Structure 1
C-alpha cells in the first residue's frame, strides 16, 4: 500500500490559539501575566510546548531550563483541559484526506504532539476515525526528525515505507522525510508558510484541493 502521512499542528489544523492559551496559564502562574499572543507567536506555538515556554522566558529575560521542565507538565494539563476551544481544521484538509482514501492510499498522522493529546484533539475535532494510524512524540523512544516515527506510522497502516510521502509545515517534517528517503510536501498556509520555500521540499502545497493530484504525481496512482 502507498501511504500519505500528515503532521498535525500547522498542517491539518491550526492549533496555535489553544497552545498559546495553555502557555499563558503557565506564565500567569509565574506572575508574568500573558506573555505570548496568537498574532505574534502562532509559529512558535506550533513548535510545541517547550518551545513556547523557552520563547516566553527568553523574552522576559529569565530563561531557565529548570523552569521549562517544571512548567511543561503544567502546560500539558492546561492544554488537555481546553484542547479545541480555538483550534480548527484547515480548509479542504478532510476533503483531501477522503479523496486520498477513496483512491486507495493509506492515511495516517505522525506528530510531535504527545500521542494521547493528539488522539484527544482529533476526537474533539471529529476526525480521529479518518486516520488509520497515529504516532505521537512519545509513542517511540525517539521523535521527528528521527525517521522511525514516520516509518512506524506507515507500518501501522500496512504500507511500504519506501512508497510514502510526508505532508508537513516545518523543517522538522522536511528533515524527517529526508532522513527516511521519501518526498515531502510542505503546506504554505500555516503560520510559518512563508519559510517553507527555503526548505526546498519536493512540493509546496498552497491549497489542499491540489493534494490528491500532487500525491499521484509523486507516488504514482495508489493501485499502480
Structure 2
C-alpha cells in the first residue's frame, strides 16, 4: 500500500510557541528570565535540547550536564501546556482525509517523545486520522535513523518501497536518505523556501497540493 509518513512539529502543526515557552520556563526557574523568542522558532523544531543549548549559550553556559538536568523540567512544563498556542497548518485535515480516500496509508514519525505526541495529536483532533505514530522514544533510535520511519510505515500497513516522508528539516531529509525513500519538505515552516538547499525530492507550499504531490511521487 502507498504510504505517506508525516513529521509532526513544523510539518503538521506550528508548535514553536509552546515549545519555546517550555524552554523559557526552565530559564525562568533558574532566575535568568526568558532567553528565547519568536525568532528562535527554527531551533524549537529541532527539539528540547536544542532550545536549551541555545538559551544557555547566550549565558555562556551551554554544557551538557546543565542541559541534561533541565531537559526533564522542560518536558514537564511542555506537557502541562502542550496546546496553548499550537495550531494545525491550514488544510491538514482535508489533505490527510483526501489521501485516505485515495487509498494511501498515513502515519506520523516524530522526534517528540511518544506520549507527548499522542497527547498533542489527540488535543488537535487528528490522532484518529493516522494508522501509526512513532515517537522519539518508541524505539531505541530516533530520526534520522531509518528504523522509526520503517516502523511507522509497517504499523500503518504500508510498503516501504511505496512510501515517502513529508517533513520540514534536515533531519527529515537525512531520514529519507537512510530509509531509501523520497522526501518532500514543506515551505511554510520558519525556514521557508530555505529548505530548497537540502535538495528534497519535492516541495510542498500548501496542504491543498498534497494529494497531487503524493500521486506524483507514488504513481
Cα shift at 1:193: 2.1
Q: For residue 89 of structure 1, what is the aligned residue in structure 2?
A: 88
In 1: Cα distance, 2:128 partner to 2:144 partner: 26
Residue 150 of structure 1 and its aligned partner are, at CA, apart by 0.4
In 2, distance between residues paired with 1:176 and 1:52? Answer: 21
**Equivalent in the alignment of 1:67:** 66
Question: 2:152 matched to which residue of 1?
Answer: 153
Partner of 1:21: 21
Partner of 2:11: 11
Q: Deviations over 1:12-32 (max 9, x none)?
A: 000001000000000001110
2:166 aligned with 1:171, yes or no? no
1:43 and 1:191 in contact (8 A); partners too = yes
Give aligned pairs, total: 219
Residue 120 (structure 1) shift:
0.3
* TM-score, structure 2 normalization: 0.99
TM normalised by structure 1 equals 0.96
Unaligned runs of 5+ in 2: none
1:34-89: CA deviation from partner (whole Å, max 9, x where unpaired): 01012x11111111000000000011211111010000000000000000000000
Structure 1 stretches of 4+ with a deviation exceeding 6 A read none
Q: Which runs of 5 or more residues in structure 1 are unaligned?
A: none
Structure 2 CA distance, aligned partners of 1:116 and 1:184?
25
Report if the CA contact (8 A) 1:169-1:193 is conserved: no
